Amino acid sequence: MSVGEISAELSGRRGAFELDVAFTTPMRGVTALFGPSGCGKTTVLRCIAGLDPLRGRLQVGETVWQDTARGIFQQPHTREIGYVFQEASLFDHLSVGDNLMFGRRRAEKRNGRSKTESLSSDEVIDLLGLEPLLDRDPYGLSGGERQRVAVGRALLSYPKVLLMDEPLSALDRRAKEEILPYFDALHQRLDIPILYVSHDPTEVARLADQIVLMGNGRIIATGPVSEVFERLDLGPATGRFEAGAVVSARVREHMAEDSLTRLCILADTSDGLRETGQFLSLPSVNAAVGEDLRLRIRARDVALATRRPEGLSIRNVLSGHLTEIVEDPGTAFAETLVDIGGARLRARITRAAVRELRLQTGDPVFALVKTISFDGRAIGAGGGLEPAAWRTRGPNE
């Protein structure tokens, strides 16, 4: 393995559940452990933390944390991790500031261990917007505020790896909208890897760079977010109803009179992102012209036409060609993949439509996406739409 990777090979049984996984992930960015409840995501995270030891080998960068064959096992308190649980689990007898300093004291107790200080205390407090909360008691905080404090405490233990176990699952929608922009900022600023457990495709599409897709204690697929979500053969594992594609787009203009923002879809090439010349209109986005966003467009929000439609209320008509058609004989539906100048969209249509339109791979088609399909997504404080669109980088960066 590369010293710039986390490498995990873990196996074992807990009651009737059996885990057998092997994967590698970079030592930077966000890797989502994604899959349905009960598939083993949290067990993997706990194994990495040393809290639920199973057989196998675990190496983080240059350091071997576990190797059963060689009798190596680092105890949990010696592993340089920050752990954020579903519940914030703050110390209610301590102020917010004292909760944060608990993380620092934990790091200082690691005798002879290096302190990987990617952010200073002041930077963590500023990045998570914690300054106004420092003197408050945890029991008076909102759910989103409590989780921000929990993240700050984990970061101030100066970890080599940040583990996050469904940190938004206990929050309502408003609290999620409050905290997600802070998570976006962490993604951009941290130089350490984040392993993020979730069964929510919206969270994963917004926050993650890589996916480890799990099912029944096994690895089903790994890879970049956009590539895994594009795969039609993974429908049962990724969830057919919420299935969709993740694409990048660049803000081109704001049409204030109509409360719309026009974006150019981008294709990811070996030379970086390039404009495809195809455009989408969304409800107004709080982002600068030239800024790049990440969009998740659900397959059920995309229709197909074999000719460019006229006299239609749908504003977003994208030209492309079919690259894949997968029919599900047990249902009325078919999954399709459309290439639009190097970017790809998924569309769920009926098997009857495939037959009546005589659709075949390679056929030119037009993909129709209603602007209204983006309605109801609150504009996040960090910019972009939630859950449809999110910032990826600064203008022309």
pLDDT tens readout for residues 338-365: 999 999 999 999 999 999 999 999 999 9
**Residues 47-80: tens digit of each pLDDT:** 999 998 899 999 999 999 999 999 999 999 889 9
If one counts every other C-beta atom within 10 angstroms of the C-beta of residue 84, the result is 23
Closest CA to 294 of 316, 271, 263, 253: 263
Q: Which of 286, 256, 252, 253 is nearest to 266 (CA)?
A: 252
Beta strands in 179-332 (DSSP E): 193-198, 210-215, 218-224, 244-255, 260-269, 272-283, 292-298, 302-305, 316-327
Tokens found for residue 151? 């993240």
**Spatial separation of the C-alpha atoms in residues 201 and 335, rounded to whole Å:** 18
What CA–CA distance (Å, rounded) separates 30 from 211? 9
d(C-alpha 366, C-alpha 359), whole Å: 12
pLDDT value of residue 373? 77
How much is the pLDDT for 110?
58
If one counts every other C-beta atom within 10 angstroms of the C-beta of residue 174, the result is: 11
CA distances from 231 to 21, 114, 321 (A): 21, 41, 16
- What is the pLDDT, as a whole number, of residue 386? 37
CA angle, corner 82, sides to 136 and 167, nearest 5? Answer: 70
- What's the pLDDT at 109? 64
Per-residue pLDDT of the chain (397 residues; tens, 9 = 90+): 455 899 999 999 988 999 999 999 999 899 999 998 899 999 999 999 999 889 999 999 999 999 999 999 999 988 999 999 988 788 888 999 999 988 777 666 654 444 445 678 889 999 999 999 999 999 889 999 999 999 999 999 889 999 999 999 888 888 888 888 888 888 888 889 999 999 888 888 888 999 999 999 999 999 999 899 988 888 776 666 678 888 999 999 999 999 999 999 999 888 888 999 999 999 988 889 999 988 889 999 999 999 999 998 998 999 999 999 999 888 999 999 999 999 999 999 999 999 999 999 999 999 999 887 764 333 322 333 333 444 554 333 3
For residue 24, what pLDDT is reported?
95
Distances (CA, A) of 233 to 221, 229, 236, 325, 334: 11, 10, 8, 10, 11
Q: What is the reported pLDDT for 201?
A: 86
* Full DSSP string of 39-91: SSHHHHHHHHHTSS--EEEEEETTEEEEEGGGTEE--GGGS-EEEE-SS----
